């Protein structure tokens, strides 16, 4: 164990539990820690003792306190700081493995739009800090973290703390700043460096995002620093075709003399936004022209809850989802799915970025205020290309008029986009006349969207309460079917959950024969549990036809296609679901899974990483990355990913068997067998996925136990068996006649 850990852990024992080291730098060591008071994971940075001694506790804590006062959407907050047993530390949110550096290491260059957006976000953070008299002094890709795609600047205050007056600690052996990104005046140790030094560093970062390397490189730090004093400022356009205005903006940020750079970070950010607007005008015009002869494309952002009671958030979310569903039924209009639209909830994102990410040309935004039996709903339709409002309206109504409001909004949007639409505009039909039942239904959908076991069970209870008040509420039964389908396999035995889902879906369809949500749930049961693949595909094709914007119907149909020998079509269908719901973590991870089954391991890894860019704790994406690495012969890499996935709280225990696969490949038989023994014991007390455990047994060479586990999965009708003939985890079993018999019994092709 590191001596610093041994010294720090007991000093912090009452506040933090140090779990493991995350990384080291020249000045600090970073630990993953558990905040005992708030029950959360945090990143704890401890300065090296020699650095701490040089700085002094008083100066360090003063500067960190100033940094902790910075509150900005693109600044990583400081939770805590202090002196523990003579060691100086500070605490931040845990964002392990999500830095711009790691992304550049993977991709080397970013798209023009992404590079401009991230740089603008960092510049916005710097402008805020500079206006509060805080200069960062160490802007580099390692200090720019990515949270749900947005830039977060870390380590404010540290550069100031490790400077003494205007003298850098570099004189005593410690580097303040990083040579590849350090401004000339900071490199020279000049007095009075200001925010323009940060702009120089940010210009270096932007240069690297565009070209794949910093503007000045060399074999030693001294060589790098020397180049920025004697070599010409490099041009981005010598290695990449970018607008001339962008090349000029980067060159201005990299000017040797501060007075020749942008005056403020805000000025730099605005210059970049202007370039972004100019560079995308052509693309937006093309999209707009195409929309005039094809489907309009609209994204509905989550309506803001303006009620005094935060509990009413379920109502604002529910109204958003209802409007998405209503618009999705209109002819000639493409509507981004709920999952993707809700990815922007609570975020201040430019409408052009939203349009780019959702693939839409218009955005509907609004708010809901619910007070007693009255609602006030405001809505505005915005053109993505111009940023102009096409339509806006405020509705003050009684709660019982909620469905009329939804209908009016739908028709107002049709009118605003009338050149793009045609045919029957449809009408919003009230699902129930019982407002209390409708309110309970909306609450049920609110909890359903959280997709955890407790939330799904809460949604079941709310849907059932709604049905007690209105037994004719078809969508209440559809919600129950959805919840049971999501609980199946990982949390509830499939032979218990799926029959409940089927009964609820059939009752929903008795009340509304054209309810696509219920058809989709029925298709899941027919395909995933009853293994009637042709019947399932017919049901799902009808659901997709009735509700072409319902991405879930396309996704579920995609899951059926490998079972009938159409794996290539399954990949294409999953991509189609992602077009409809481009920010869906679930669909993205399934695409990675099917690319794995198709033997395209590099593409599977890339798709898994894209999934983790959307949700860094998506355990299935990590598993598919690991499986692809294992298939490529990298057992060490696979083991690391498997352990990382299974360390997550949301990871089902049965998937520990995947760790066994990597251990077996590495010849670590004792640990592999110990995990299998534990899983076998746990499976006697609770439901675990037997087909997953079978992969562990197969990898460890215990073929009889593997087939016994598969037989248990077969008797339980586990959905995981549908890919028995595709998943590389079953490769050790494929020469055994028992394998062919099982494939035939399931009916796979």
Q: What element of type H or E holds 298?
A: strand 296-300
Coil, helix or strand at residue 103: helix
- What are the residue ranges of helices labelled H in 188-312? 195-211, 221-230, 244-253, 265-293
Count of CA atoms in the C-beta half-sphere (13 A) of 147: 19
Coil, helix or strand at residue 217: coil
Residue position matching structure tokens 């679901």: 577
First-to-last alpha carbon distance for the chain, in angstroms, is 53
Long-range contacts of 658-661 (CB under 8 A, 24+ apart): 658/623, 658/626, 658/627, 658/692, 658/695, 658/696, 658/729, 659/696, 660/695, 660/696, 660/697, 660/699, 660/700, 661/627, 661/630, 661/695, 661/696, 661/699, 661/729
In order of 52, 57, 66, 193, 672, the CA distances from 135 in angstroms are 20, 20, 11, 9, 51
Catalytic residue (one of 35, 138, 470, 512):
138
- What DSSP string describes 124-173? HHHHHHHHTT---S--SGGGEEEETTEEEE--TTHHHHTEETTEEGGGGT
If 0-12 CB within 10 Å is exposed, 13-18 middle and 19+ buried, where does residue 10 land?
exposed
User: Is-contact 130 152, C-beta < 8 A?
Assistant: no
φ, ψ for residue 611, nearest 5 deg: -65, -40
Q: What element of type H or E holds 100?
A: helix 100-107
CA dihedral for 279, 283, 288, 289, sign (positive or negative) = positive
Residue 138: active-site member = yes
Coil, helix or strand at residue 98: coil
Positions annotated as catalytic residues are 138
């Amino acid at each position: 164990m590191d001596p610093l850990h041994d010294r720090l852990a007991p000093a912090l024992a009452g506040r933090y539990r140090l779990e493991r080291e995350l990384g080291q730098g020249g000045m600090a060591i970073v630990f993953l820690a558990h905040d005992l008071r708030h029950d959360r994971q945090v990143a704890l940075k401890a300065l090296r003792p020699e650095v701490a001694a040089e700085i002094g506790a008083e100066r360090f804590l003063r500067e960190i306190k100033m940094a902790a006062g910075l509150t900005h959407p693109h600044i990583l907050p400081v939770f805590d700081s202090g002196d523990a047993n003579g060691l100086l530390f500070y605490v931040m949110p845990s964002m392990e493995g999500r830095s711009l550096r790691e992304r550049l290491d993977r991709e080397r260059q970013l798209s023009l739009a992404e590079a401009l957006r991230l740089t603008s976000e960092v510049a916005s953070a710097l402008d805020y800090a500079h206006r509060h008299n805080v200069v960062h002094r160490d802007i580099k890709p390692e200090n720019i973290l990515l949270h749900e795609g947005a830039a977060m600047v870390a380590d404010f205050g540290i550069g100031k703390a490790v400077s003494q007056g205007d003298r850098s600690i570099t004189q005593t052996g410690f580097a303040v700043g990083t040579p590849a990104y350090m401004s000339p005046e900071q490199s020279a140790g000049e007095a009075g460096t200001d925010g323009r030094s940060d702009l120089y560093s940010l210009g270096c970062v932007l240069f690297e995002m565009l070209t794949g390397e910093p503007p000045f490189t060399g074999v030693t730090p001294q060589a790098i620093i020397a180049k920025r004093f004697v070599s010409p400022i490099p041009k981005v356009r010598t290695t990449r075709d970018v607008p001339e205005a962008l090349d000029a903006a980067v060159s201005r940020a990299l000017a040797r003399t501060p007075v020749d750079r942008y005056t403020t970070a805000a000025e730099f950010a605005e210059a970049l936004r202007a370039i972004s607007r100019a560079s995308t005008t052509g693309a937006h015009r093309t999209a707009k022209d195409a929309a005039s002869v094809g489907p309009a494309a609209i994204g509905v952002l989550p309506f803001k809850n303006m009620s005094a009671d935060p509990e009413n958030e379920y109502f604002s979310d529910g109204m958003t989802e209802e409007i998405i569903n209503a618009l999705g039924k209109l002819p000639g209009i493409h509507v981004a799915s709920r999952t993707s639209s809700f990815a922007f909830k609570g975020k201040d994102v430019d409408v052009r970025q939203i349009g780019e990410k959702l693939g839409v040309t218009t955005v509907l935004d609004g708010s809901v205020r619910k007070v007693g039996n009255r609602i006030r709903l405001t809505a505005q339709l915005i053109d993505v290309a111009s940023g102009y409002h096409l339509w806006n309206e405020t509705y003050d109504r009684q709660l019982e008029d909620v469905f009329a409001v939804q209908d009016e909004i739908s028709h107002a949007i049709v009118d605003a986009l009338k050149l793009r639409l045609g045919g029957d505009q449809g009408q919003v039909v009230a699902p129930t006349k019982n407002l209390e039942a409708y309110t309970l239904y909306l609450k049920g959908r609110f909890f359903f969207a959280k997709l955890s076991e407790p939330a799904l069970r809460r949604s079941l209870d709310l849907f059932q309460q709604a049905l007690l008040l209105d037994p004719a509420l078809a969508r209440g039964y559809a919600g129950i079917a959805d919840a049971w389908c999501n609980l199946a396999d990982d949390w509830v035995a499939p032979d218990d959950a799926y029959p409940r889902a089927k009964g609820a879906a059939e009752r929903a369809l008795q009340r509304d024969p054209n309810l696509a949500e219920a058809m989709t749930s029925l298709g899941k049961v027919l395909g995933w549990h009853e293994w009637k693949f042709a019947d399932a595909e017919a049901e799902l094709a009808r659901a997709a036809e009735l509700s072409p914007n319902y991405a879930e119907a396309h996704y579920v149909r995609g899951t059926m296609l490998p079972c009938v020998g159409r794996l290539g079509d399954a990949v294409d269908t999953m991509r189609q679901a992602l077009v409809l719901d481009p920010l869906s973590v679930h669909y993205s991870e399934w695409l990675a899974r099917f690319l794995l089954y198709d033997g395209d391991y590099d593409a599977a890894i890339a798709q898994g990483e894209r999934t983790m860019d959307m949700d860094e704790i998506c355990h299935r994406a990590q598993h598919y990355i690991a499986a692809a690495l294992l298939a490529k012969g990298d057992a060490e890499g696979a083991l690391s990913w498997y352990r990382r996935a299974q360390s997550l709280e949301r990871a089902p225990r049965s998937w520990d068997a995947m760790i066994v696969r990597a251990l077996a490949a590495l010849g670590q038989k004792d640990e592999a067998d110990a995990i299998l023994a534990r899983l076998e014991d746990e499976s006697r007390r609770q439901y675990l996925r037997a087909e997953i455990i079978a992969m562990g047994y197969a990898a460890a060479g215990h073929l009889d136990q593997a087939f016994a586990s598969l037989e248990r999965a077969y008797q339980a009708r586990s959905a995981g068996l549908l890919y028995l003939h595709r998943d590389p985890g079953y490769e050790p079993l494929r020469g055994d006649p028992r394998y062919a018999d099982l494939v035939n019994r399931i009916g796979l092709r």
